Structure 1
Amino acid sequence: MSKAAAFSLAGKKGLILGVANERSIAWGCTELARAQGADVVVSCLNEKARKWVEPLTAPIGAELMNCNVEEPGELEALVQHAVQKFGKLDFVIHSIAWAPLDDLHGDVVDSSREGFARAVSVSCHSFAELAKLCAPHMPDGGSMLSMSYLGSGEAVPNYGLMGPVKAALESMVRYMAMELGPRNIRVHAVSPGPILTRAASGIADFDGLMATAQAKAPLQRLVTLEEIAQLSAFLCSDAASGMSGQTIYVDGGVHAVD
């Protein structure tokens, strides 16, 4: 393997879930993966989202599918389509998270059992479901990524219910890394600093959260969508072949300071 090839996604086949608009992390990952030579199938939630996403994906040749992981059979259909198109998969990026607004905006102790269960199902367990579907079609191994946040390991004001959910996701990443390692499948959680995505806009006082992060960051700024995509591309490349089971921060250093 040449040193140049190690940092390329050229020829790799990928599946990316969760494109919502031009500000979504999944879109940043899609755009960079295509620029690096990967072939990708990507998903958006439904037809309503599709009108915002298709003008992004069509010009770069990324095939778009609808996928609501709460709807029976849709995740299976998405994976089946990607496998039929490519014959195999080399990387999977899971960038979806959701919780009912009433539960998200309230205190954790006031969250409903149903709302908590749905948040875990969509934001966490769907990653395990995706892995189960994709792993048999990764004969050469590869990478599986999901997206977390600092609120998984410490209590962040207004992050609420999603903190415990992301903590469960990061734990799942470690167990999936252990279980899928013998197949040469690497599993990571990428933990970006706050950026204004559609999902983030549902968090109360998100502007305040971003301001706090910028003030605390050793780099004295917020990270960009491009920087998150660059880390994700690296983890999906052969250059990261010796890494698995980690939560990796791209947050300007906020996680490292008090």
Structure 2
Amino acid sequence: MTGKKGLVIGIANEHSLAWAAARNFHAAGADLAVTYLNDKARPFVEPLATEIDASILLPCDVAQDGQLEAVFGAMTRTWGHLDFVLHAVAWSPSEDLHGRLTDCSADGFAQAMLVSCHSFIRTGKLAEPLMRTGGSLMTLSFLGAERVVDHYGVMGPVKAALESSVRYLAHELGPKGIRVNAISAGTVRTRAASGIEHFDELIDETERKSPLRRTVTADEVGRAALLLASDYTTAITGEVMHVDAGFHVNGMVFH
């Protein structure tokens, strides 16, 4: 990855899957741009950006007009091209996340879709002109996009839309050599996962029922991101790669 330029959107703290990926990108020699959500998040992210010698560190709240565009503007001025992007952004209003999908508000659904799904589409549009010789776009998903996971609520349909977007973007951007994939990560204790009710029960079920009889680590997800960013996967696009200790093969509904 020496000489490669990459953007990581969505690091919240040292437990983030995005941080595990950034560490692996950096260890492999990539030069990185890193974002933080807002001033409250900056003290948690800035030391991490320093640790990996990030060339660019900027705020990026994808719900705020112009911030994502400003990040791409900075990369255009600093690098002039881009090789890969990891999008690790998801959010829903808590009342909609913790309630039934049946009761989800229209506004809450729209906000969750805007932040968690449409921001990836926008990222693809902004990355396209910088990936003149091809590149890799990646996002993070979860098994709740494919199957019912209790307490995942509105994020199930939203992640399903994200995975569908991966396929459509792969189709549209493929002629330019741009690959688009998702990583469906298993249960890892992250800040995002802490918002899911009864998450400990899901971890216990994963340890009992996955083929490997364990959960996964953030670093395992990060290494998968490195693989998809690298030239070892130049023929892989439109895929949802499960990094979940094989849990998805059981075909069960969680209760």
> Normalising by the residue count of structure 2, what TM-score does the alignment of the two structures yield?
0.97
Structure 1 Cα separation of the partners of residues 130 and 41 of structure 2: 28
Which of structure 1's runs of 4+ aligned residues deviate more than 2 A?
Answer: none
Q: Aligned residue for 1:47?
A: 39
Structure 2 Cα separation of the partners of residues 59 and 256 of structure 1: 37
Structure 1 Cα separation of the partners of residues 47 and 30 of structure 2: 19
**Following superposition of structure 1 onto structure 2, how do residues 102-121 of structure 1 map, counting pairs within 5 Å?**
102-121=95-114
Structure 2 Cα separation of the partners of residues 103 and 83 of structure 1: 37
Structure 2 Cα separation of the partners of residues 213 and 220 of structure 1: 7
Structure 2 Cα separation of the partners of residues 134 and 84 of structure 1: 14
Structure 1 Cα separation of the partners of residues 239 and 27 of structure 2: 26
Q: Aligned residue for 2:141?
A: 148
Q: Aligned residue for 1:210?
A: 203
Q: Which moved more, 1:234-243 or 1:59-68?
A: 59-68
Question: Quick check: 1:14 aligned with 2:14?
Answer: no
Question: Quick check: 1:253 aligned with 2:228?
Answer: no
Structure 2 Cα separation of the partners of residues 44 and 18 of structure 1: 7
CA-based RMSD: 0.8
Describe the superposition over 1:29-80 as per-residue Cα deviations: whole angstroms up to 9, x where unpaired: 1111111000010111011101011111112201321100010000000111
Question: Quick check: 1:177 aligned with 2:170?
Answer: yes
Q: Aligned residue for 1:98?
A: 91
Secondary structure in 2 matching 1:47: coil
Give identity over the alignment, percent: 49
Q: Aligned residue for 1:198?
A: 191
Structure 1 Cα separation of the partners of residues 59 and 205 of structure 2: 35
Query: How many residues were matched structurally?
Result: 250
- Could you tell me how far 1:196 is from its partner in structure 2? 1.0
Letter in 2 for 1:160: G
Unaligned runs of 5+ in 2: none
Secondary structure in 1 matching 2:15: coil
Secondary structure in 1 matching 2:40: helix
Counterpart of 2:119 (choices 105, 113, 126) is 126
Structure 1 Cα separation of the partners of residues 32 and 61 of structure 2: 18
Describe the superposition over 1:171-204 as per-residue Cα deviations: whole angstroms up to 9, x where unpaired: 0000000000000000001001011111111111
Q: Aligned residue for 1:34?
A: 26
Q: Aligned residue for 2:75?
A: 82
Letter in 1 for 2:235: G
> Normalising by the residue count of structure 1, what TM-score does the alignment of the two structures yield?
0.95
- Could you tell me how far 1:155 is from its partner in structure 2? 0.4
Letter in 2 for 1:45: L
Unaligned runs of 5+ in 1: 1-8
Structure 2 Cα separation of the partners of residues 91 and 234 of structure 1: 11
Q: Which moved more, 1:48-57 or 1:177-186?
A: 48-57
Q: Aligned residue for 1:4?
A: none
Question: Quick check: 1:56 aligned with 2:45?
Answer: no
Q: Which moved more, 1:181-190 or 1:51-60?
A: 51-60
Secondary structure in 2 matching 1:222: coil
Q: Aligned residue for 2:61?
A: 68
Letter in 2 for 1:246: E
